[in-house]
Chains A and B, each alone.
Chain A
Amino acid sequence: MRGKKHKGKAQSGKMQADSAQSENSLLGNVLQGNVLPERALTYWRIRLLLLCIAPAVVGGFFFFTAAKLFTLWTFVWVSLFLLLCFVYCPMHYRFYRYSVSERMVRVSRGVVYNRMDAVYIRNLQYTTLSQTPLQKLLRLATLRLYAAGGVVRLPCLNYEEARLLRVQLGKKMEVENGTGNDH
């Protein structure tokens, strides 16, 4: 357990070092398969916990009206919660990868089905950086890249990294525009 924790910390440290290193050359070098910060997993779990309020309230109603239904209902939602919290979320976190290269931004994800979204930087039109109160608390942010014909969403990035990425992609878009590639 401790080893695992150390490994996690080492990975987190590596991520921070990576983040610092990439300040000047995030787009200069091809970064392959970046992982999200570990706080992203915490964020998903807290969000899941908040989502459990609704079934818990329904369960409370069943407790006073239908005892058997309450047992069944509670068993179902608690099992589902545990499954999502301790199996699905870690797997989703593990399979989630994003990379920013000279030409494109790629996001690969999916537990059951693997899915990859890629967008050419030359096709990018504008970017949006957003933070929910919970994300603000965990210093995370969601970056949306709007391209002609689609959107690529990078959720739960390190806030600083997301901000930097937004600025650098903006510059890169201007360079692409200078070369005359507007679509």
Chain B
Amino acid sequence: MEQATTIKRFRPHPLYILSNLWRYLFILLIPVLRGLYYVLINSFSFTKGFQLAVNLSSWVRGAWMDIFILLAFLSLGVLLWVTFTVEVSENGLLVKRGVFHRETTFLPSSRYCCVSVVAPLRIRIFGAVYLRVDTPGGNLQSADLLMMLKKDDSEQIIQILQTPQEITPQTPTREYKPKSRYVFLLAMITSNSFAGVLLISTFITEVGNILGQQFSAMIYGTFENVARTLAFGVPPAAFALACIMVFGYLCAFIASLFRHANFHVLRRKNLLKINAGLMTKRSYRIDVEKIGYLDIQRSLLTCILGVYSIFLSTVGYGKFKDDVSALIPCVRKKKLERSLQLLLPEYHLSARQIKPSRIRSLYRYTWRSVALLAAAWITRAVLCYFLPNWTELIAWVTFMTTIPLVWLLSVKIIDLNTAGISYEKGCYTLRYSKGFSLHQVIIRPERIAKIKRTQSLFQMRKGNCDLYIFSYSEGRKTHHIRDINREEAEKMFCGEPFS
């Protein structure tokens, strides 16, 4: 006998009408409302009496075009809202939308990797949330389905979909909640000045668009004056640069702290539920079977502090720039295995079995950072020779450039001592560095999409190779392990794996 299928139909939250056309409405809505306000307050006069009808008719005669366009926009918004429906059954989601360009999308529930509910404060106060569904198909820059729903409706949809299946209230639950200081540390690690600077400049530009370019010019001008006044002993340009970096970092840090506040993870059967966020509340439901890999990240700072951050790579999780991507924000080395065992016992971290030679591979690991360092100092010498009046600024910039390059060299030396690959209990562990961070990736064989081996002339003599592991994901994600023994690596991936 066939199982009966429950089909329920949902419509977006009414706020969707405005959210879709807000940018255009904003331009028209303010002048129209302002006009209406003046009509109302000027209608009550002690000398002429009550004149609302007269004033209103003359206002309509003057602003009829604005009112007409505003109504047209609103009608389009309503039409878009009316035609947007989601039919939910155990099999999946059937989404119908569009007024002129009709579109019907079917997302089978078996294909979801991550179902997330995102509730920014600006829509949460109206009882709305965003429901996001991601599959390995579709666009890398956008969710496969993103819709604004009532909070209750989104909960109902998740309940009907039962993502992942077979979970009852009686299913045993394991919970992980990090200490606040660990969340603070994660925010410190994951923030960078560049992102902060981008955040500030976007904010100023957006505000400038709304309040006028004069406002943006005023902010930039004030900043320039402050930089000139406070720069004691250092060139104003260098001081301004340092200020931007520090302020950018602070902004990024606060944004990251808000994003990771109230972080906690629940594990129920094959469901991993991650909740986080202060202003924007985020809740992710991930099918454990569909996790791409685990990435245990370290920076030089966390190496010194002796802590690790575990990130999760799966389709739809950490996809957007303001998404959460951590699984365990910060953990000490002693507790790493235990925390991992609690949430994802399927993943096992093993000790290095194939590793590069500390002496023979030194060049391969460090030449780039050494070359950059040398280039910075040679450039300094050349510039100082040709531009003697700028010596102070050049020296400052070189000094500022040297710090990250020495930092990078240190990371590469640590990488030389920690890089390698291993296989144990059905999981590969890949250890390598990318930029300023050190990675320990735990990946299951079925999540490896492609393996690439490259060998230079020098490596050929030593019998070594560089290994690129492509993991199964929405976009291209590679893990590059440098200068390891070719035969051993091939045996591990293509022949019989070590046990």
Contact = CB atoms under 8 A, between A and B. Distances in A.
A146 B144 contact: yes
B20 interface: no
Interface string B98-140: 1011111111101100000000000000000000000111100
B299 to A, nearest CB: 32
A78 interface: no
Interface stretch (A19-27, A49-57, A69-77, A130-138): A130-138
A100 B98 CA distance: 28
Interface string B138-149: 100000100000
B448 to A, nearest CB: 11
Interface string A88-127: 0000000000000000000000000000000000001111
A33 to B, nearest CB: 26
B428 interface: no
B292 to A, nearest CB: 11
A163 to B, nearest CB: 8
B135 A128 contact: no
Given A174-B91, A177-B110, A183-B472, A129 B136 contact: no
B355 interface: no
Contact of A128 (B105, B290, B446): B105
Interface in B461-488: 472, 474
Contacts of A37: none
A97 B397 CA distance: 61
Contact of B110 (A146, A148, A166, A174): A174
Interface in A140-172: 146-149, 151, 166, 170
A125 B135 CA distance: 6
B144 A130 contact: no
Nearest to B287: A182
B138 A125 contact: yes
A147 B104 CA distance: 17
A124 B110 contact: no
Contact of B102 (A124, A125, A127, A136): A136
Contacts of B110: 173-174, 177, 182
A130 B136 contact: no
Residue from the set B91, B137, B290 with the largest chain A CB neighbour count within 10 Å = B137
Given A127-B106, A183-B136, A133 B144 contact: no
Interface string B177-197: 000000000000000000000
Contact of A130 (B101, B111, B138, B446): B101
Contacts of A177: 108, 110-111
Given A128-B103, A131-B101, A133-B100, A170 B137 contact: no
B137 A126 contact: yes
A174 B135 CA distance: 14
A130 B107 contact: no
Taking chain B's interface residues, is the majority helix, strand, or loop, or is none over half, making it mixed? mixed
A28 B106 CA distance: 21
Contacts of B135: 125-126, 146, 148
Contact of A174 (B98, B108, B136, B137): B108
A129 B105 CA distance: 6
Contacts of A128: 103-106
Interface string B67-104: 00000000000000000000000011000001011111
Nearest to A162: B104
Contacts of A147: 137
Contacts of A131: 101-103
B103 A130 contact: yes
Nearest to A142: B103
Contacts of A151: 137-138
Contacts of A136: 102
B106 A125 contact: no
Given A146-B138, A148-B137, A183-B472, A130 B98 contact: yes
Contacts of A125: 107-108, 111, 135-138, 144
A127 B95 CA distance: 10
Contacts of B103: 128-131
Nearest to B96: A129
Nearest to B94: A170
Contacts of B138: 125-126, 146, 151
B270 to A, nearest CB: 13
Contacts of A129: 103-105
A147 B103 CA distance: 18
B145 to A, nearest CB: 9
A148 B104 contact: no
A131 B137 CA distance: 21
A124 B110 CA distance: 11
Contacts of A124: 137
A183 B290 CA distance: 10
Nearest to A136: B102
Q: Which 9 A-B pairs have the closest CB atoms?
A: A125-B137, A146-B137, A148-B136, A125-B135, A177-B110, A130-B103, A128-B105, A126-B107, A129-B104
16 contacts: A125-B136, A125-B137, A126-B105, A126-B106, A126-B108, A126-B144, A128-B103, A128-B104, A129-B103, A129-B104, A130-B98, A130-B103, A132-B101, A148-B474, A173-B108, A177-B111
Given A146-B137, A166-B104, A182-B290, 12 more contacts: A125-B108, A125-B144, A126-B108, A129-B103, A131-B101, A132-B101, A146-B135, A149-B136, A170-B106, A173-B108, A174-B108, A182-B110
